[in-house]
Amino acid sequence: MRWLALVLGALLLAAPARAADAAGAQVLEHKGRWESGYGAQFYNVVGRLKNTSGHELRYVKLRIEALDEHGNVVARTDTYNESAEALAVPDLNPRELLESGKVKPLPVDAEERFRGSFLKEETPAFTDYRVKVIETPEVTPMKVIETREAPPRSPSE
């Protein structure tokens, strides 16, 4: 019986986070401008967001889209709230980062910064951009499963 509780507990921990409605976070402000550094030019978008979900979020994933003069998307990049930026690093495993606790959850009503950029040499001409919240998974509370203890063994066992 005890092993069943352990197996169920492990399954609960391994279950993926539920993606909440993307409306679980609100972009409060953002600004974009051309910058240069390290021999490259890039369009840098920085802003602030707020957790409006009513519960802790594992992270907030955003999509920044570059738009041409007709409003068509010509480039896009995905980014995360500041505490979760490591999830966008290609050489790191996002699942391992989340399971290790290295990505701190975003508390209810907390505000945090975000940033994303487009390299000029890799991006078609654009006249505007937009920022969308695309994922706001809820922190899944750990469930404690209680089991009855086995009766004490007799001295002869």
CATH code for the domain of 61: 2.60.40.10
pLDDT tens column, 65-95 = 999 999 999 999 999 999 999 999 999 999 9
- Within a domain: residue 10? no
What tens digit of pLDDT does each residue of 40-60 get? 999 999 999 999 999 999 999
Closest CA to 119 of 29, 31, 30, 37: 37
* 25 in a structural domain: yes
Whole-structure pTM value: 0.75
The boundaries of the domain holding residue 126 are 18-137
Residue 33 lies in a domain: yes
**Nearest C-alpha neighbor of 45 from the set 3, 79, 88, 95:** 79
Residue 13: predicted pLDDT: 39
Please report the pLDDT score of residue 104 as a whole number.
95
- Our count of domains for the chain comes to 1
Has residue 8 been placed in a domain? no
What is the pLDDT at residue 140? 81
> What does the radius of gyration of the chain's CA atoms come to, in whole angstroms?
22
Positive or negative, the CA dihedral 128, 88, 54, 106 is negative
Higher pLDDT, 110 or 21: 110
In a domain, 157, yes or no: no
Residue 118 pLDDT exceeds 80: yes
Write b or e for each residue in 31-50: b if 16 or more Cβ atoms lie within 10 A of its Cβ, otherwise e: ebeeeeeeeeebbebebebb
Q: 75 - beta bridge partners?
A: 66
In the predicted structure, residue 28 carries a pLDDT above the cut 80? yes
CB 136 within 8 A of CB 24: yes
